[in-house]
Amino acid sequence: MNLHEYQARELLRRAGIPVPPGEVATTPAEAKAAAERIGTGKVVVKAQVHAGGRGKAGGVKLADTPEQAADVASKILALTIKGLRVEKVLIAPAAQIVSEAYIGVIVDRASQSPVMMVSPAGGIDIEEVAAKTPEKIFRMRVDARYGLLSHQAMELAFHLYTDVALVRQAADILQKLYRAFVDAGASLAEINPLVVTPKNEVVALDAKIVVDDNELERKPAIEALRDVSSENPSEVKARDANLTYIKLDGNVGCIVNGAGLAMATMDLVKYYGGEPANFLDIGGSSNPDKVVAALQIVTADPNVKAILFNIFGGITRCDDVANGIVAATKQFTVKVPIVIRLTGTNEQEAVRILEGVGMKAMTDMDLAVQKAVEVAKKGGAAA
Ligand code: GDP
Ligand code: MN
C-alpha cells in the first residue's frame, strides 16, 4: 500500500525527523487559506499522488504569495501525473536549499534484510544516479535484530557530508527513518531530497513510504491511511474479491490459479513473443464468483486483446471455473477472445459445461499460450 507524501511526512515527524509543517488542500481557495496561515512568504505547492517524479511533471511549484499559491494549486489540481489525477495538494513553507541528498531503506530480497541506502547526489533524479553513476549510492545491510546502530548511521552519514555537525544530524535522521520504516511495516521508506538549509539544518523535504500489505492486519492505524480514491480501481476491486492482481503493460490478460502457475504462465507468454497484461491469481478456493470478478477486472483493461485462462485443477475445481466463465459471459459481454486451458479436478465436467455454451477448452499449456499470444497480436479480431 502506498502512502501519500503528506501521510509519510506525518509518520516521519512523529518519529522525530525534522519535516516542515504542511496542510492539505483540495481547492485553490483552500490552498490560498493554507498559505495565509503559514504566513512566512514563499510556499511550495505539491501534488499528492502515488507517483514519483512529480517535480518533473510540473507537480511541485513555489509560490511567493497566497494568491499565487491559489493560482499554482489550480494548475496542479488539473494535472494527471503518470495516469493519476491530482485530487489534493500539500502546501508547506518553502525551504531554502543548499544541497540535496537521498536517504532510504528497503527490504532487500537478496540479503533478506533491510538495507539502508544513501547518496549525496539526491534530488529529482535518483533513478538516473542509480543507472549511470551507481558508485554514488552507498548501501548498508541492517541486522533486523539490532536495528541501525549509531556507528553505522554515522558511517552512512559521512558519505553525505564532511561537516561533522551535518553528519550528526543526518545520522540521527537515518536512525529515526529506520525506526519509522519498521513501525509502519514498510517495504520502502525514503527521503529525497534530504536538504541542508542556509542555517546548516538538515531537513526532509519529501517522504515516500510503501507499506507491506501483509503488515496491515496488525497495523490498523496504518491501514486507516489507505486512500482508495487514489488507487487503481481494478486493484481495489481485486482486493475486495480476494484476488491477487497486478496490472502490467501487455495485452494478454491472464487468469490463473496459484501464484507459481501465474508466474509460469507469464514467462511462457513472454517466451512465445507476447506480453502479459497482468498477474492474476484466483487462488485455491473454487468459487465461480471469483472467476466472474476476475473477468470483470481483466476486461476493464483496454489494453487486453485476448484472455488466457490457465487452470491446473486441484483444490480449484475446473467445473467451478467453467461455471464462473459461463456466468460472467451471461452477465456482461466479453469483447475479446478467451482461450481456455484447463486440466485436473473435474476437467471433463468443465469441458461439457463450456461446450454447452459453444466454448472450447484446451489441455496443453504451450498450445494455449501460443494461441492466446497469436490472437492478441491480431488485435483480438478472431478467436
Ligand atoms: P518528486 O519530484 O515527486 O520527488 O517531488 P519532491 O518533493 O522531491 O520535489 C522535487 C524537487 O522540487 C526537489 O528535489 C527540490 O529541488 C524542489 N523542492 C521541493 N520542495 C522545495 C522547497 O521547499 N523549496 C525549494 N526551493 N525547492 C523545493
Ligand atoms: Mn522527491
Domains, the chain, ranges and CATH?
Answer: 21-93 (3.30.1490.20), 99-223 (3.30.470.20), 232-377 (3.40.50.261)
Q: Which residue has the cell 536495528?
A: 147
Cβ atoms of 337 and 310 closer than 8 Å: no
Pocket test of ligand 1: the residue of 60, 86, 195, 197 to mutate, having most ligand atoms within 8 Å of its CB, is 60
Beta pairing class for 252-256 and 244-247: unpaired
The answer to whether residue 30 is catalytic is no
pLDDT under 50 in the chain at which residues?
382-383
For residue 193, the CA-to-ligand 2 centroid distance in Å is: 6
For residue 98, the CA-to-ligand 1 centroid distance in Å is: 12
CA distance 169 to 189: 18
pLDDT score for 124:
78
Of 34, 32, 24, 23, the C-alpha closest to 74 is 32
Pocket test of ligand 1: the residue of 96, 192, 205 to mutate, having most ligand atoms within 8 Å of its CB, is 205
Q: Which residue has the cell 459471459?
A: 329
Q: Is the dihedral of CA 88, 49, 217, 115 positive or negative?
A: negative
pLDDT score for 381:
60
Please, which residues bridge with residue 281 across strands?
244, 256
Ligand with smallest separation from the Cα of 122: 1
Residues with Cβ within 8 Å of residue 105, at least 6 apart in sequence: 114, 115, 116, 117, 142, 177, 178, 181, 186, 188, 189, 190
For ligand 1, is residue 344 a contact (CB within 6 Å)?
no
**Alpha helices, H only, 272-346:** 288-299, 318-331
The answer to whether residue 349 is catalytic is no
Residue type, 266: M
For ligand 1, is residue 4 a contact (CB within 6 Å)?
no
For residue 205, the CA-to-ligand 1 centroid distance in Å is: 7
For ligand 1, is residue 359 a contact (CB within 6 Å)?
no
pLDDT score for 383:
46
CA distance 140 to 350: 53
